[in-house]
Structure 1
């Protein structure tokens, strides 16, 4: 039987994660209906509070900014910014570094054999991540982004550290179908010349997940400043990538091992690439066939591989 995947956290981290909710719960009975509504939102969405502007929260909740300011002072904060800072600290405390996760993994392997074969737990986590993706993905959003990619003059793929293999894979697939895609930093062009060549007719796909590569975030910012459309693939609403993106896709990376799982990311980029090719017309189909034929002629495929 496949065992459910596990999310590990120390006792102190679990207690810290309840800080905002504890403060809200302690004062809930004394809040007006409007403040109670705002309090529920803050307790349930600390990442939004930490990373989004007050105007954004007011718009998405259909409550006025002063409502959140009054809530902050009612909860004992000096002002709304103090509440935001507490949310930021809470999110920071919840993060487990790789080394700590590895230690927990080693301890659980020797003390909790009932969790079952690790391979089954890892598989269950990956399946859950894919299920979350399939449940949350908006088909219209995928189609809209695919159309934007098809109409872009140039498509640039950005990914550093653990995200780099995914842009390499996406770039390889794209090279069979298109001649206007490039992997940022893979050619002879300098960073500056690549950025200088982008404008509002171009599009970038940036992949960055926790812990976020500084270089990816900085490049996304510069591309956005150039007027190009930025599509982000990340794992958290609080991701520093989101603020620079026109559209963001979120993938779950939960894993019982020390490193994040990227299986859902793979499914997303394959789905996106398939949708782009499907919407690109007969010319792309002919190019793929021509590239495949040339690969056979050049001996790039093992003779009996098909």
Structure 2
């Protein structure tokens, strides 16, 4: 049987799963056979669609799709789906310039608005995956960790610095104990030295992973702080030893990985945090807004 491992999976692994499913097919229940039919005939859609959409297309329930994954030895449907996503990635352009060429090739096809159509489809699929049941359950676990921590630190470099900054800026309005790790002008180690076992670190990063982020999270692990990783794979170097791992789709025809699902997750996570915070949090937000208005921080016609 196929099992989850910590080793990298390759496209041949997806092929083996399909062959195993074909062998098991005669022993499956009628509902599982319907789910198996969809997987065998549309493996690419398994990678791209959410569990709800896949189940709907296969005319089964999401729990049936999960049972099928478990029949094949996977603990969760998300891990089963990820195998097919990695198979697609193995065929996909790997560098930013190659992705840009693919984008130009897509635009050169005769179909009108090919690029925008592909962009909108992948964006909606990414967001739908972001709010699946498993992710929602993780949000409910992550929020109390953030609210009750001594301090919370946000880490992300290069493109995901925008994500860390958004989380820290918006979060600090309600929760003064949220901090952004900036790492400017050689200050990274000094900032990381403040972190201890009572703290929570929210780290952002996807392939290709910024070396500064990978090195920073090693130091965080040594400090025994709790880690919430927002990344693209359970095999991400940021996911190891994390208390909670959010694996988000970032499929896009764009030459650079999309941040849209990450920003959506941040706003959902902070919303749950605020809902748990009580009247003090409301006062913090009110005081922030009042101060900005008093100091002329907002434009008034």
C-alpha distance in 2 between matches for 1:29 and 1:114? 36
1:36-65 CA-partner distances (Å, limit 9, x unpaired): xxxxxxxx9xxxxxxxxxxxxxxx9599xx
**Residue 269 of structure 2 is aligned to residue 272 of structure 1:** yes
Using a 3 Å threshold, how does the CA distance of structure 1 residues 282 and 106 change in structure 2: closer, same or farther? same
Q: Corresponding residue for 2:226? A: 229
C-alpha distance in 1 between matches for 2:231 and 2:291? 36
Which of 257, 276, 290 aligns to 2:254? It is 257
C-alpha distance in 2 between matches for 1:120 and 1:251? 21
Which of 199, 202, 210 aligns to 1:205? It is 202
Q: Corresponding residue for 1:19? A: 12
Q: Corresponding residue for 2:96? A: 98
Which of 138, 143, 146 aligns to 1:141? It is 138
Q: How does 1:166-177 map to 2 (within 5 A)?
A: 166-177=163-174
Q: How many residues align?
A: 240
Q: Corresponding residue for 2:188? A: 191
Using a 3 Å threshold, how does the CA distance of structure 1 residues 186 and 278 change in structure 2: closer, same or farther? farther
C-alpha distance in 2 between matches for 1:201 and 1:130? 32
Higher alpha-carbon Rg: 1
Contact 1:221 1:244 in 2 (8 A): no
Q: How does 1:101-116 map to 2 (within 5 A)?
A: 101-110=99-108, 112-114=109-111, 116=113
Which of 271, 281, 286 aligns to 2:283? It is 286
Contact 2:118 2:253 in 1 (8 A): yes
**Residue 231 of structure 2 is aligned to residue 238 of structure 1:** no
Give the TM-score taking structure 1 as reference length: 0.69
Contact 2:143 2:269 in 1 (8 A): yes
Report how far residue 115 of structure 1 moved.
5.7
Q: Corresponding residue for 1:38? A: none
Contact 2:173 2:285 in 1 (8 A): yes
Q: How does 1:52-201 map to 2 (within 5 A)?
A: 61=73, 93-94=90-91, 96-110=94-108, 112-114=109-111, 116-185=113-182, 190-201=187-198
1:260-305 CA-partner distances (Å, limit 9, x unpaired): 121111110000011111111111100110110110110010013x
SS of equivalent to 2:256: coil
C-alpha distance in 2 between matches for 1:246 and 1:263? 23
Using a 3 Å threshold, how does the CA distance of structure 1 residues 297 and 29 change in structure 2: closer, same or farther? closer
C-alpha distance in 1 between matches for 2:74 and 2:127? 32
1:128-151 CA-partner distances (Å, limit 9, x unpaired): 111111225443321111001111
Unmatched 5+ residue regions in structure 1? 1-15, 32-43, 45-59, 64-88
RMSD of the alignment, in Å?
A: 3.4
Using a 3 Å threshold, how does the CA distance of structure 1 residues 290 and 233 change in structure 2: closer, same or farther? same
SS of equivalent to 1:242: coil
SS of equivalent to 2:131: helix
C-alpha distance in 1 between matches for 2:116 and 2:88? 29
SS of equivalent to 2:230: strand
